[in-house]
Every structure is written in C-alpha cells, then in structure tokens.
Chain A
Amino acid sequence: MTGKSKWIQLAVLAIIMLVLPFFFPSGYYYRVGALIFVNALSVVGLVILIGYAGQISLGHAGFAGIGAYSCALAPVHLGLHPALAVLLGAGISGVLALLIGRPILRLKGYYLAVATLGFGILVSMILSNERGLTGGPDGISVPGLGLRPLLRDMGLRLSGGEFWYIVNAVVLLVSIWIALNLYQSATGRAMRALHGSETAAKTVGIDVARFKLQAFVLSAVYASVAGSLLALQNGFITPDVAGFMHSVEMVTMAVLGGVGSVLGATFGAAILTLLPQILTVFADYEQLVLGFVMILVMIFLPLGLLPSIAARVRWRGV
C-alpha cells in the first residue's frame, strides 16, 4: 500500500459518511449509522491484532466493558468529566493489556483463545457481581456528555442520533488514519512479518514478543474507546457489553468483512449491525440466517467480504 492509497481509502469513507445522511428517511438511520461506526472502531483495533499481528482474542469485549463502565462510574465517583472518563478507560485498558499481554501472548492458537476468553469472562463477572458499584446485571445509567445542550445554546440543534453520527464518524476516521499509518510503518511491517511466521520473524531478528504486545495494547485501547462511546450514546449499559457474545461479535465482524484491511473490517461491522435490523420481519429466523452467513462467507470468501469482492472486480477489470 502506498501513501496515496491511504488517503484514497480515507477519502472514500469520509465521502460515504457525508453523503449517506441525504438518503436517510428518518432519524432512526442516524442511530444505526452511529452504531456501525462504533462497532467499526473496535473492529479496526482487531484488524491490528488479528490482521496485522496474526494473534487472536476472544475476550476483547472485556476492554469494551472497562471503557463503558469508566464512563458510567468515573463521573459519579471521581467527579471526572465523561470525556475524560473515556481517556481514563482507555488508559486502564492499555495498562491492563500491557500487564496480562506478556504472559498471555506466549500462548498460541486455541490456547491464546481460551486465555483471552478467560480474561473477558473475568471482567464481565466482576461487572455483574460487584452490584454495589456497577449496578449488577441490571446495568447502570451513564451521565451525558453535556456537549449537545452546549451546541444547542450556540444555536446548533442536533438530535441525539445526528450528534453521535458525527462524533463517531470523526473518531472512526481518526482511528483508521492511525491504523493505516501503522500499517506502513516499520512497526507495522514487523507485525505483519510475525503474522507470516513467528519463527521466521525471530530468525531475522524481530522482537516478536514486543510487537505482539504493542498490537494487543493498541487493540485494547480501540475496544475501550468504542465501549465508552457506546455507553455515552446509550446512556445505559449492562455487563453484556463485556460478555463472550460481544467478543465473538467483534471478531466475526472483523473476519467477515476482511481482517486484512481496515475498510473491509468497517464493511463487516456495517453488515453485521444492519443484519438484525433487516431481519426483524423474520425475527425467529435471525439466528439461523446469521449462522448461515458466517459459514458461507468463511468458505466461499475466505479473505472476507470486501477484499474478495474487490479481488473479483479487479480480476474482471484486467
């Protein structure tokens, strides 16, 4: 990938984000758009971990949970502004990832999967058991950001959906920009080298453990920020945000869209966020269809939806 293609990718995404609202028949579509962006944010983090560095995690929802509950708890107990709570959550997630990453990332394949899974389960268990602090399984309300009333006073009236559509879009674009820069950097190249073969990377002198850890910490911070944004825009969260199914959902979005590319992963997030909204008519069959789609894509489009489609288009074009 060249420097030019980075800007092309960003521009394409930004234009789509700008143009889409002109086709929105109602405010509800802003809400769905905002959700897609927030999901895409955590998925971009997983692209760095899975797509670049070749490591797997079935526990990243744990970091999303930390981000989300930071926004619920820090303003009440520490008097922090919710926006600072997002940073606090990201900081906690990053440090935690640093601490557990070292021993966990020595594991490979399924052993790494079970270790990360265990981490995620521990986080969600603490969130749901420490009722006095977290509100338990029933959940807890999250204070508002306070930015919307401020904008209103300045004469800019935005609905909740519109506001979060804009905020999440901007955050997503920035995070994609960071991920794309990383891809081209020396660090990114080292990560991709160890994805190919750890042993080979080691023999050419790459500090495998360090780059794995960097990818893990970065993806944890992404997931945490996504969790925070989700909490702030919903105004209410439950420990499900840290649950196993949320971890699986995140990985599925990444892999379905195409874990090798940032745009692909965003596309995956869009598809999986939209699917339940489209399938409401067949609510009973939603799970069935979802499972079916997951299997089919993995078999027939092993690179993920977007890269496979792109490859086909390119092939025809030649």
Chain B
Amino acid sequence: MKFTMTAIATLLALGLTSAAQADIKLGASLSASGGAAFLGDPEAKTLEMLVEEVNAAGGINGEKIELILYDDGGDPNKARTFATRLVEDDEVVAIIGGSTTGTTMSILPVAEDEGIPFISLAGAIQIIDPVRPYVFKTPHTDRMACEKIFTDMQKNGITTIGMISGTDGFGASMEAQCKDVAGTYEITIAAQETYAPQDADMTPQLTKIKSTEGVQAILNPGFGQGPAIVTRNYAQLGIDLPLYQSHGVASDGFIELAGADAAEGVRLPGTALLIADIIEDGDPQKEVVAAYKAAYEEKYGEAVSTFGGYAHDAFRLMTDAIARAGSDDPSAIRDALEATDGLVGTTGIYSFSADDHLGLDLSAFRMLEIRDGKWTSID
C-alpha cells in the first residue's frame, strides 16, 4: 500500500514537472538601459506586456510562454554572453532581440551555430543581407527610410539637400545609407554635418548648411535629444526650408520635446502606429495598431513608439510561427517563420520567403507631417 502511494506521488510529481517544462521558453536580450535605452526600454515593456496577455488568454496551443529577458545595456560583449546563456543554459526555443546593430551582430552567430530562430529589432541591412537561415528582422532597413524620404523630396521638386546627422549608431548608419542611395533619386547632398549625441546646440552646423549654395531641404537622421535640439535651432535661426527627420524620432514624445511651434511642418517616414487615431477605417493595420497603442498606453502611461512596435511585431511573428509549427522544436519554428504570409503588424504587413527575411516593402512606411502639434499622413 505504502509502495503504491509513493509510486502515485512520484508519478504525480513527474506529471507536474513535465507540465511545468512544457512551457515555451522565449529568450530576449534587449538594451533596456544604457545609450540605446530609448530602443530597448519600450521593447522590453512591450514583450512583457504581450507575454502576460497571451498567457492570460491560455497561451499558444495550450502552452504558456515563459519569457527570459536580459538587459545587455547596448554592449555587444554582454549581448553575446546573454545569447550564449539563453541557448545553452536557459535552453530557449527562440530569441527576440538585439536592439542595436552591434548587439544583433553579436547574437547572430550564436543563433546560427545552435540553430535557434532569431528575430532582430535593429535597422541595418547587413543583418538579413545575405540571408541567414535562422535570422529575421522586423524594422525597415535604414535604406528604406532614405528611399521613402527621397521619394517625397522628388515629388516636391527637391534636388539638392543638406544633411545633419548624429554620430551615434543610428544616425551614422542612416547617413551612410542615404548617401549611398541619393544618386538613384537624383539628389545631391551638398552639405554634410554631424553632432554628438549629447550636444546642446547645433546652430553652427545649421548655419553652415544654410549658407551652402542651392540647398533646398535639410535631412536629420538621428534619435533622442539631438533631433529635438536641431528642430528648435532650426526655428531659432529662422531657416525657411523643409526639414525632414527620420523614423528615429517617430513618437509623440518628439513633438513635446521639440515644441509644437518649432516642430510645425517637420516631415518623416513613420509607421501606422503614430497615426492610429486618424487611420482610415478600411486600413488592414487599423485594428492591430489601435489595440497595441491602447494596451501599451493604458499599462505604462507613456506614449507608444515605433520601437516598441518592432518588438510587438517580432513577438506576433514568433508566436504565430510557434502556433503553426505545432511544436517547440526550433527548426520547425524556423520553417514556420519563413512561411509567414501576410501577418499584419504595427510596422507593416510581413511575408517572409527563403530569400527575404525582412518581408516588408516601402509601402509599410507612411510619410507623415506635423501639423498643429499632431501627426498627419501626407501620402
């Protein structure tokens, strides 16, 4: 009798542990602190919120998701260590993360070597070009942002521009891509200036650009306080040319930081998320962006940003693939991920294929303009 009891207890215990182990382990290494916290912080918050949401609704195929989230502080060295830890110690089935290009490129070899599907949240094109079997990404490339901006410039008859960019990873990478692609749109970059991420005043650079012969518009790739200060200096100097910002500042916070007066007329390529309130009814993205925006702002009391949106899309893509794969075998998830077709995210509508692991085109970007302190679509 006693023996049977013990046996039953053991079986029960085994059953319980195996039920606990059945959780799907999802890993993430994000830059929630440090210089790239403006990216990693909303991304981390978004993942935590969505995991809670999915688990409350019963999980994927009846299994709960366990999120293992590390803060790499934007340090590629730490990112690589955490990626190793996620794969070898925590034994996750998939990884989301790499807020920056540097951290992504450090996680990437670990994911490739161990065969773990990995969705990056960073902008650089080198992440998915050449295509690597296990590596995907959700944000548009910087090159696409440049193309979107140049298309709009072309439409307005602008052929000569000045550029002022941040010397941080985001600004420098986009500056290089824009220079690369400008010729295709017959745009000449006549003046080129930079500023350090924490600079307090950009009037010398702007004065130089302003006095350059023939400049018809100014483009400012960057994120954080830089673009806000550029926009304010722009108003201070009374420069009367169109000012284009990048998707790096696509959030309501930017208008507040730059001041609605100074920001009036600023244009940038953004996502549907920014204009969730005014998006047309028939738009396929309307439901997704509205739901995400409402949930995020309700939970955290701060405005959503494009970057949180990247994490949202990565999570949806990954959970959708896990559900379709019907198992938590990493290579099955990878195959399902690559077969993604028409998944609606906040950034755009994703369709992956064997030779496209970004799955977005230019149509995902919307040209936005700040009018009366609000974002409006001018496409």
Contact = CB atoms under 8 A, between A and B. Distances in A.
Report if A and B touch in the complex (beta carbons < 8 A). yes
Interface of A: 25-29, 31-32, 35, 128-129, 131, 136-139, 141, 160-161, 230, 234-238, 240-241, 276-277, 280, 283, 286-287
Given A136-B172, A137-B172, A236-B76, A28 B85 contact: yes
A137 B172 CA distance: 7
A31 B81 contact: yes
Contacts, number: 86
Interface class of chain B by DSSP? helix
Contacts of B176: 131, 136
B231 interface: no
Task: Across the A-B interface, give the 7 residue pairs with the lowest CB-CB distance, nearest first.
Answer: A137-B169, A238-B102, A283-B71, A28-B88, A138-B101, A27-B88, A28-B89
A135 to B, nearest CB: 9
B85 A238 contact: no
A136 B170 CA distance: 10
Interface in B39-97: 69-71, 74-78, 80-82, 84-85, 87-89
A27 B85 CA distance: 8
A236 B167 contact: no
A35 B81 contact: yes
Given A136-B176, A238-B169, 15 more contacts: A28-B81, A28-B85, A129-B167, A131-B176, A138-B100, A138-B169, A138-B172, A138-B173, A161-B88, A235-B106, A236-B76, A236-B109, A241-B77, A283-B33, A283-B69
Contacts of B105: 138-139, 141, 236
Contacts of A236: 76, 80, 102, 105-106, 109
29 contacts: A25-B89, A28-B81, A29-B89, A31-B80, A31-B85, A35-B81, A128-B167, A128-B172, A129-B167, A131-B172, A137-B102, A138-B100, A138-B102, A138-B124, A138-B169, A138-B173, A139-B76, A139-B102, A139-B105, A160-B113, A234-B76, A234-B77, A235-B106, A236-B105, A236-B106, A238-B102, A280-B82, A283-B33, A283-B70
Nearest to B77: A234
A43 to B, nearest CB: 15
Interface of B: 32-33, 69-71, 74-78, 80-82, 84-85, 87-89, 100-102, 105-106, 109, 113, 124, 167-169, 172-173, 176
A1 to B, nearest CB: 34
A75 B82 CA distance: 28
A269 to B, nearest CB: 14
B75 A240 contact: yes
Given A236-B105, A283-B32, A27 B84 contact: yes
A280 B76 CA distance: 16
Given A139-B76, A237-B76, A26 B102 contact: no
Contacts of A141: 105
B81 A238 contact: no
Contacts of A161: 84, 88
Contact of A137 (B75, B106, B167): B167
A280 B70 contact: yes
Given A28-B88, A137-B167, A139-B105, A277 B173 contact: no
B88 to A, nearest CB: 4
- The interface centre, meaning the residue of A128, A138, A160, A276 with most chain B CB atoms within 10 A of its CB, is A138
Contacts of A280: 70-71, 82
Nearest to B108: A236
A287 B33 contact: yes
B87 to A, nearest CB: 8
B77 A137 contact: no
Nearest to B78: A276
Contacts of B85: 28, 31, 277
B224 to A, nearest CB: 13
B106 to A, nearest CB: 5
A136 to B, nearest CB: 4
A136 B71 contact: no
